C-alpha cells in the first residue's frame, strides 16, 4: 500500500530555470521526510517546466501544477495547496536557500501542536542577506513597527516561508491582490486573528544567491503591503488580540541549538 507524503512543498515560479535546478537538488539531499515538490506555473510554456521534466525521473515525487485560478501568488498557492497530498504544506520561493535548513524544525513545531509556523529573518538569530536593500529596510522596519503597534506575535509576518495544513489555508479566506508576496503578510495576520497556535523558526535568508532578476517593485508592492499593514493593525487592535506565547525552535545547526519559548 502506497502512503502519501508527510510534506508537500509548494513553489510558485516564473521562468526560474537555474534557481529551480539548484533548489531541487538541495531539497533532494536535505529533506529526509517523505515529501513531494509541486512547482506551480501560470503558463504551460514557462521556462521552469523543462527543468522539472528533466529532473523528475530522479525525484520520487515532483510535478508541475498549472495555475488556472488567475495570475498572482495567492492563486498559485491555491492551485498548489489543493493539489497537495502531504499532511503539512510548506510554501516558499525557488530563489530562497536558507529555508531548506529550517524544514525539520518547522515540522517539529507542527508535530508539537502548532497550527501555523513561519520563519523569521529578524529574531532568534535570523538574518536577511542579499536582495534589494530598499526592500530589506522596508521589510525590517515595517515588521518591527507593525509588531509594536498591533501586538502581532510573529517577528517576521511578511516572510513567504510558512507551514500549515490545507484546512488552515482554506479557513483563512485569503484575498490579497496579485502583487508580490503580500498574501504571506495577510496569512500571518489572519492566523493570529483566528487564534491559531503559532510557531517560528529563525533562518538566514539568502535572496537570489544564484542570480536571476527579482520581481520586487517598490511602488506596487509598497501600496499592497501598506494596505494589509493598516488592515491588520485595525483588526488586531479592534479585537483586542493580545501578544501570546509563540513556540520557537532554533535550528540545531546554529550555536544556540535546542528549543526555546517566548
pLDDT at 49 over 80: yes
pLDDT, tens digit (0-9, with 9 covering 90-100), for 33-43? 999 999 999 99
pLDDT at 252 over 70: no
- The predicted model scores a pTM of 0.89
pLDDT at 262 over 50: no
Q: Which carries the bigger pLDDT value, residue 100 or residue 66?
A: 66
State what percent of residues in the chain have pLDDT above 70.
87
pLDDT at 2: 54
For 1-94, which CATH superfamily applies?
Answer: Spore Coat Polysaccharide Biosynthesis Protein SpsA; Chain A (3.90.550.10)
Cα end-to-end distance, the chain, whole Å: 42
In the predicted model, what is the mean pLDDT of the chain? 87
Cβ(77)–Cβ(164) below 8 Å = no
* DSSP state string for the chain: -PPPPSEEEEEE-SS-HHHHHHHHHHHHHH--S-EEEEEEESSTT-THHHHHHHHGGGSSSEEEEE--S-SSHHHHHHHHHHH--SSEEEE--TTB-GGGGGHHHHHHHHHTT-SEEEEESSSTT-EEEES-HHHHHHHHHHHHHHHHHH--S-S-TT-S-EEE-HHHHHHT-----SSTTHHHHHHHHHHHHTTPPEEEEE-EEEETTT-------HHHHHHHHHHHHHHHHHHHHHTT------EEE--TTSSS-SEEE-
For residues 108, 112, 118 and 120, what is the CA-based torsion angle, rounded to 10 degrees?
A: -70
Q: Do strands 116-120 and 162-164 pair parallel, antiparallel, or not at all (unpaired)?
A: antiparallel
Domain ranges of the chain: 1-94, 112-262
pLDDT at 196 over 70: yes
pLDDT at 61: 93
Amino acid at each position: 500500500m502506497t502512503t502519501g507524503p508527510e510534506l508537500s512543498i509548494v513553489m510558485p515560479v516564473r521562468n526560474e530555470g537555474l534557481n529551480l535546478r539548484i533548489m531541487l537538488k538541495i531539497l533532494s539531499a536535505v529533506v529526509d521526510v517523505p515529501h513531494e515538490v509541486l512547482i506551480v506555473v501560470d503558463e504551460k510554456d514557462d521556462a521552469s517546466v523543462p527543468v522539472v521534466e528533466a529532473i523528475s525521473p530522479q525525484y520520487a515525487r515532483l510535478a508541475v501544477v498549472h495555475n488556472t485560478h488567475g495570475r498572482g501568488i495567492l492563486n498559485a498557492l491555491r492551485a498548489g495547496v489543493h493539489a497537495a497530498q502531504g499532511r503539512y504544506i510548506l510554501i516558499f520561493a525557488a530563489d530562497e536557500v536558507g529555508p531548506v535548513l529550517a524544514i525539520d524544525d518547522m515540522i517539529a513545531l507542527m508535530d508539537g501542536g502548532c497550527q501555523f509556523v513561519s520563519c523569521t529573518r529578524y529574531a532568534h538569530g535570523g538574518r536577511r542577506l542579499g536582495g534589494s536593500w530598499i526592500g530589506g529596510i522596508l521589510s525590517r522596519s515595517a515588521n518591527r513597527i507593525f509588531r509594536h503597534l498591533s501586538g502581532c506575535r510573529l517577528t517576521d509576518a511578511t516572510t513567504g516561508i510558512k507551514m500549515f495544513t490545507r484546512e488552515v489555508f482554506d479557513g483563512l479566506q485569503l484575498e490579497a491582490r496579485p502583487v508580490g508576496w503580500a498574501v504571506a503578510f495577510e496569512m500571518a495576520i489572519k492566523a493570529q486573528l483566528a487564534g491559531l497556535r503559532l510557531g517560528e523558526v529563525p533562518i538566514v535568508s539568502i535572496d537570489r544567491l544564484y542570480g536571476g532578476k527579482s520581481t520586487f517593485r517598490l511602488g506596487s508592492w509598497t501600496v499592497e503591503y501598506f494596505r494589509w499593514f493598516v488592515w491588520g493593525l485595525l483588526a488586531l487592535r479592534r479585537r483586542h488580540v493580545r501578544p501570546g506565547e509563540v513556540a520557537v525552535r532554533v535550528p540545531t545547526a546554529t550555536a544556540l541549538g535546542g528549543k526555546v519559548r517566548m
